[in-house]
Structure 1
Amino acid sequence: TPERLKQNGLTMASSTLIVDCNITDVRENTNLRCWKVNNTQVDLYYRESKRITEGIESCVPFAQYNRYTVNITFLEVKMEDYGRHFVCHAGVSAAYIVLKLPAPDSQAYLIGGFIALTGVAVSIMCIYNFFKIDIVLWYRGAFRSIGSVDDGKLYDAYVLYPKPLSGSHRWEVDVMVLKILPEVLERQCGYKLFIFGRDDVPGQAVASVTDENIKLCRRLIIIIVPESLSFGLLKNTAEEQITVYNALIQDGMKVILIELEKIKDYTDMPESIKYIRQKHGAIQWSGDFTEESQSAKTKFWKKVRFHMPPRRCPPLSPVQLLMHVLCLYSG
């Protein structure tokens, strides 16, 4: 009667692997039952390292046959063991096992990839938020469009500021509005501002000058000082009413609110200024009216420039355009 052999037991404890070879054979058969690798018994093949050994054979007798079990124990599985045939012999019959590398855990890879991508996205967002102003200003400078903006506007910003003032704050406001703003935004950055008291024609009515020019501006810059020092200013004046109405209601103009000093309490400020503060926030002046504070590269002016409209290069003349093309091809 031919021998019947099968391997059907595989267990692993920690790093130890045990495989059982179950053999069904007639009682009279005395065939040798053993494990071999490369046609050599495993005990001989691994006699030095004892890393892989053959266990003691066990036998369970039945009425017509015996059930034998011979196991093989891997104390340690190495890369050289994968793909190798470990054969269980019982006379002329044999069965073998082949160890295969475990399939990669796709779910773990997906989770790890998702976590990695999320971490990268969060890092990019944090870096962008931290350097957003510098990135935007760099982009505007590097990819500045050529030509004028065809929106019918003449000025980049209308400057609304409290007047008249007394004491030190009058001097600070005047220096900011009439000296520093023009120096930085107009001379250094190329913007064009409308400042009431500088650009209007003497004798014109405030309402008509304001209504006419606010419609020609792309932004509204509002300069404010602590309410206790400017009580009654920017409160329902004709200029304030017209500029705020046009900015917030009629044209939806973007507003840049600049605090010359930190203002903690807006309770007594006009409702329009409260709304602007809540919607657009405020930029607090951090300079000291020195030459160092009049550089467009300082943090304060970068914030102001970020909220200003992008600047465009003036149109190139035919000669300049030809030189520009020749430079591109020669480079």
Structure 2
Amino acid sequence: MMMRRMRRMLQMILLLTEYVLVSSYQSNSTVKCERSDERKTVRVMAGESLYLPCPNTDCHTETENTSYEWFKYLERTEQVEQIGTEESERIHYHLSELYILWLTLNDTGRYITRWWYEEDKCDEYETDIVVYEEFNTDLLYRTLVEEKASQIHCPVCEYQQATFIWYKDFSLIPNQEAEALRIRNSSKESEGIYTCVCTWEHNGIKHNTSASRRLTIKDMSSIPPAFQLPVNNSIVITDVGTELILQCSVFFGRTVCDECFVHWERNKTRINAVNGYKQETRKQDGIMESFLTITKVSELDLRSEYRCRAEDSYKVYYVSVILKRKASMLPEILACVCTFLLVLVLSGIVKWFSLDLVLFLREIIVKLNRTEDGKLFDAYVIYQRNLEEKTDKTVSDFVNGSLVTVLESYCGFKLFIHGRDDLPGEDCMNMTESKIQLSRRLIIILTSGTSTISSAAYDLELGLHQALVQGETGVILIQLGQMKDYTHLPLGLQHLLCKNSPLLWRDGESSPSSRFWKRVRYRMPVASSHRKSSSKNGSLECQRLTV
């Protein structure tokens, strides 16, 4: 019973001690220490001792007016226990230096250094210590790759008074007791594993610490790694708040490369276990890839420098990537809208003035390249005569008024009109046939006054034959007033109406610059060169109105 009580009391004391240590670590929890992104890893042998200074140089050297605390992280409870300062303890610290004497496998773990450089400001540094029961290649420090090695420095016992002995491939090298091992006339035979054992004293007791590293003599014929992705100084377009994956792909060759590494750095610092960033590495067929996932791009990421680091047994290589914010699409959208509106306006202007432009250009081009065709008239006018009084007056006013005034007086065309240009006593049929053959166009005036064009039947029949059968003469159809249908007209004329709708003239449309007269002139040929001299000024006026 007494033994049981003592065991319970011992358990309570241990729990109370752990509570006090954890409370000590959390006592200043109101002050948040800055934690470094880098974590140092130290690999040591069981049975030896370890002298571990604070991983940061300033933390180790600037010991005045500062204070330190050392902790060990307990993975089992996810808590930390404070390390004491009593030198009689196997694990203790003095200011910025941690001592672990006669290492055991249980000493493996994460150790935390808290440095108070001001009363309310502190930094934290983490160091992973891995204890091996026997020698393992994982114990090797970074391999030295040299073209011609001259010396090797012992990687342990820095800032410490100690004596050294050296081994090559675990055989003692005589007469080598300095911190740096000198190698004379290095060659391929100098390659191997070099181990330094430093002996130091603590509280009158001597302790040993060893460290090993491999030396490789660089082969100058080796091929450097080749970056496949990304291209150096390439630009990656992204946006704040989006996920981004950066890929780095490096070809190291088909041979085995134990010392080859690829990883991403931000602002020249390796990204390790940082919230919001994940790095993944793959290796296959001589190609090593590293994928950096940024879960949420921030403004800081856009201002940072990202680079992929490739490292072989001989050298380190870099390529950089620049992150840029995705440009706004608003300027492009506005430019497209403005371009569309401009094209729309220009299309409308061209459509509206296309008739004027064609008339103007045709007048110039055709005249420059024109050959005389033997025609005397630009148009032969066919219209109904002897209609009812009102309709007959409308037709007469149009033919002898607007038609003559615009086409002859203003534009210089030469027309043949019955009752004005035929000679008295001349055979009507012969005259009609000859005049139509000497005309370049037929102008047919349509009205709704009668059911047929009886007074101009022969003119019409001969003209339709000339236009439809022989295809020698063009036809211009002008309609005066509205008509319900065209069923009362000859079939040949109905056929022409199906192919080309007539030009509708409205009373009062007598200006040469009106749309109606421009369309008439468009269907007319270029004005005859046999015009009367008195019409030249009018022709120039017609051209001016076109422009």
| 1:126 CA displacement | 7.3
State the match for 1:301 in structure 2: 517
Structure 1 Cα separation of the partners of residues 521 and 292 of structure 2: 77
Deviation track 1:175-230 (CA, whole Å, cap 9, x = no partner) reads 1111221111000000000001110012223211110100110000000112xx21
Q: TM-score scaled by structure 1?
A: 0.64
Work out whether 1:175 is the aligned partner of 2:397.
yes
CA 1:57–1:137 in structure 2 vs 1: closer, same or farther (change >3 Å)?
closer
Work out whether 1:233 is the aligned partner of 2:461.
no
Q: Does the CA contact (< 8 Å) of 2:384 and 2:445 recur in 1?
A: yes
State the match for 1:151 in structure 2: 373
Deviation track 1:114-169 (CA, whole Å, cap 9, x = no partner) reads xxxxx999998876555432221121345562697511100000000011111211
Q: Does the CA contact (< 8 Å) of 1:159 and 1:195 recur in 2?
A: yes
State the match for 2:154 in structure 1: none
Q: Does the CA contact (< 8 Å) of 2:386 and 2:455 recur in 1?
A: no
Structural RMSD (CA)? 4.8
Deviation track 1:256-288 (CA, whole Å, cap 9, x = no partner) reads 000001223111211111011122321000232
Structure 1 Cα separation of the partners of residues 530 and 425 of structure 2: 34
Work out whether 1:254 is the aligned partner of 2:474.
yes
Q: Does the CA contact (< 8 Å) of 2:383 and 2:456 recur in 1?
A: no
Work out whether 1:275 is the aligned partner of 2:495.
yes
CA 1:261–1:56 in structure 2 vs 1: closer, same or farther (change >3 Å)?
closer
Structure 2 Cα separation of the partners of residues 69 and 190 of structure 1: 85
State the match for 1:164 in structure 2: 386
Correspondences of 1:96-135 after superposition (within 5 Å): 96-99=318-321, 130-135=352-357
Structure 1 Cα separation of the partners of residues 459 and 530 of structure 2: 32
Q: Does the CA contact (< 8 Å) of 2:384 and 2:456 recur in 1?
A: no
State the one-letter code of the partner of 2:516: F
| 1:90 CA displacement | 8.2
CA 1:139–1:91 in structure 2 vs 1: closer, same or farther (change >3 Å)?
same
Q: Which has more radius of gyration?
A: 2
Q: Does the CA contact (< 8 Å) of 1:8 and 1:20 recur in 2?
A: yes
Structure 2 Cα separation of the partners of residues 298 and 233 of structure 1: 28
CA 1:243–1:258 in structure 2 vs 1: closer, same or farther (change >3 Å)?
same
| 1:239 CA displacement | 2.0
Greater fraction strand: 2
State the match for 1:329 in structure 2: none
Correspondences of 1:60-79 after superposition (within 5 Å): 72-74=292-294, 75-76=296-297
State the match for 1:219 in structure 2: 441
Structure 2 Cα separation of the partners of residues 247 and 239 of structure 1: 12
Secondary structure of the corresponding residue to residue 241 of structure 1: helix
State the match for 1:16 in structure 2: 244
Work out whether 1:206 is the aligned partner of 2:422.
no
State the match for 2:102 in structure 1: none
| Higher-RCO chain (CA-CA 8 Å, sequence separation at least 6) | 1
| 1:89 CA displacement | 5.3
Structure 2 Cα separation of the partners of residues 219 and 69 of structure 1: 82
CA 1:259–1:96 in structure 2 vs 1: closer, same or farther (change >3 Å)?
same
Q: TM-score scaled by structure 2?
A: 0.41
Q: Does the CA contact (< 8 Å) of 1:146 and 1:314 recur in 2?
A: no
Query: Percent of aligned positions with the same letter in both sequences?
Result: 27
**1:87 corresponds to which of 296, 309, 333:** 309
| 1:311 CA displacement | 2.6
Secondary structure of the corresponding residue to residue 440 of structure 2: strand
Secondary structure of the corresponding residue to residue 145 of structure 1: helix
Deviation track 1:57-107 (CA, whole Å, cap 9, x = no partner) reads 899xxxxxxxx99753445475986xx742155886656555499xxxxxx
Q: Does the CA contact (< 8 Å) of 2:359 and 2:522 recur in 1?
A: yes
Structure 1 Cα separation of the partners of residues 480 and 408 of structure 2: 20
CA 1:15–1:197 in structure 2 vs 1: closer, same or farther (change >3 Å)?
farther
Structure 1 Cα separation of the partners of residues 348 and 391 of structure 2: 38
**1:185 corresponds to which of 400, 407, 411:** 407
Deviation track 1:4-25 (CA, whole Å, cap 9, x = no partner) reads x999999x99541244799999
Of the structure 1 ranges 259-268 and 87-96, higher mean CA displacement relative to structure 2 is found in 87-96
Structure 1 Cα separation of the partners of residues 279 and 462 of structure 2: 101
State the one-letter code of the partner of 1:264: K
Greater fraction helix: 1
